[in-house]
Homo-oligomer: A and B are copies of this chain.
């Protein structure tokens, strides 16, 4: 009798994928660098090219690698393009996607609150760094944003001058700290603008805002960033494709 809940067998290409992801996570191939060719990898693992190919195809679907015909396979880089299409879902009424500018209000360290510990699964007393900023689209303040990361993962972040906190954070996290955000979940609600939000966004208190609660995960599926964004949806909307 075998345990019916245990996996009966694991396809080779999944095992290969696991091994490749592990090497990727260990930074053996830094973002943007080329992986060995499919044939070389296949020889290394002593499997056929088709098996490696299937593993890479799965990894490409998860945005872990990029492949270009005639060039090779590359460790994914967190480009602005990717921030825009994978992570930023606000579009203007004219159906244009555009990355917002940021005005950083504060960037400080502290001790994780219960809510932060819960979201990021941290121990009591863990130090965290918090960023507050307002993001603008077409010159209008549209998003009031507040995010938390564990300080240990991003040392020194809290002591940067506010002007030197970059706009596209995930690109920065990757380049500066080797932390790759590859996946996220979002929870959306309608809320009423608080006094602070009203002031930051230039709207009346109580104006309906779209609150986005995001948890961002790294390549090992560990929570890395918790973010709350309050969006003024008078001239923009949150776009989602159901497929």
Contacts and interface: CB of A to CB of B under 8 A. Distances in A.
Q: How many copies are assembled?
A: 2
A243 B64 CA distance: 11
Nearest to A191: B208
B238 A185 contact: no
A98 interface: no
A49 interface: no
A87 interface: yes
B186 A87 contact: no
A237 interface: yes
A187 B237 contact: yes
Contacts of A192: 208
A241 B189 contact: no
Contacts of A208: 190-192, 208-209
Contacts of A233: 188-190
A239 interface: yes
A55 to B, nearest CB: 15
A240 B243 contact: no
Contact of A239 (B62, B183, B186): B186
Interface string A208-225: 111101100000000000
A206 interface: yes
A86 interface: yes
A145 B210 CA distance: 19
Interface string A194-212: 0000000000001011110
B191 A242 contact: no
A211 to B, nearest CB: 8
A173 to B, nearest CB: 16
A39 B188 CA distance: 46
A184 B241 CA distance: 6
A4 to B, nearest CB: 17
Contacts of A186: 239-242
A208 B86 CA distance: 27
